[in-house]
Amino acid sequence: MADNKPTATPPGTGGGQTQAMNFMTDFDFTKMFGDMKVPAMPDMEAVLAAHKRNLEALSEANRVALEGAQAVARRHMEIMQSTMSHLTDTLKGMSVTEPPASRAARQAELLKEAYENAVTNTRELGDLIQKSNAEAMGKLNHRFSEAMTEMKQLFKKG
């Protein structure tokens, strides 16, 4: 009795390759791509000019942020120098001959003053940071808004 099962073509003998070759020769790529609707290309000079303005805005925002960070660092150093100078003067003025009750009252007063100064200085540094960040983000937000308007105009032309 003969076996009527189809035999598979062993790999590498070319059976499947012939079918692929026939498909490739029968397939019309120009017809397929000719029917495709491709959006019009935007004006590349306008796109590059917009990209350049984006980079300039980013650079400007980075410059503002860096200047802000430098201002914060400068002010922080001034605060530290002032605090150390004040501490030195305070320690020189402390008398060990004062009665304990008087000394404790003076220390409490100094502690209160130091706390108030710390809060004031922290608030000042926070305000400097916030101002710097707001200015940098303002520049980026302004450019983003401009870029969106530019892109809308480019796509309307296309």
How far apart CA 116 and CA 76 sit, in angstroms, is 16
Q: Which pLDDT tens digit goes with each residue over 133-142?
A: 999 999 999 9
Cβ(128)–Cβ(70) below 8 Å: no
Per the domain annotation, does 27 fall within a domain? no
20 has pLDDT over 60: no
pTM above 0.85, yes or no: no
Mean pLDDT to the nearest integer, 114-131:
95
Q: How many domains does the chain have?
A: 1
- Going by pLDDT thresholds of 50, 70 and 90, the confidence category of residue 92 is confident
Higher pLDDT, 141 or 95: 141
pLDDT score for 55:
94
Per the domain annotation, does 7 fall within a domain? no
Per the domain annotation, does 71 fall within a domain? yes
Per the domain annotation, does 19 fall within a domain? no
Per the domain annotation, does 142 fall within a domain? yes
Neighbouring C-alpha atoms within 13 Å toward the C-beta of 16: 5
Q: Which residue range(s) make up the domain with 56?
A: 40-157
Per the domain annotation, does 17 fall within a domain? no
Kindly report the number of other CB atoms within 10 A of residue 154's CB atom: 14
33 has pLDDT over 60: yes
How far apart CA 1 and CA 43 sit, in angstroms, is 74
Tell me the H-state helices in 29-99. Answer: 29-35, 44-93
